Amino acid sequence: MMAKKIEIRQVRSAAGKRPAQRATLRALGLRKINAVRVHDDNPVIRGMINVVKHMVEVKDINK
């Protein structure tokens, strides 16, 4: 069975945010507004999303 996937889109700038939040965006692979990355849906990624939830949109991908 394949792992469930989620699509993460950066919708707000990281300018002026705390260094930990900026580092979390980079770790998710997001560098610019409207950048999109697909990740496996697991507790580690969900925790990272929770740190920057005000700057990203998350969408489940059902394949």
In the chain, the domains with their CATH numbers are 5-61 (3.30.1390.20)
Give the residue carrying structure tokens 């949109």: 57
Global pTM reads 0.91
For residue 45, what is the enclosing H or E element?
helix 43-51
Quick one: residue 27, left, alpha or beta (phi over 0 = left, psi -120 to 50 = alpha)? alpha
CA-based angle 55:59:62, to the nearest 5? 165
Mean pLDDT of the chain: 95
pLDDT for 1 beyond 70: no
The pLDDT value recorded for residue 30 is: 97
User: Is residue 5 over pLDDT 90?
Assistant: yes
The answer to whether 44 and 22 are in contact (CB under 8 A) is: no
Percent of the chain with pLDDT over 70: 97
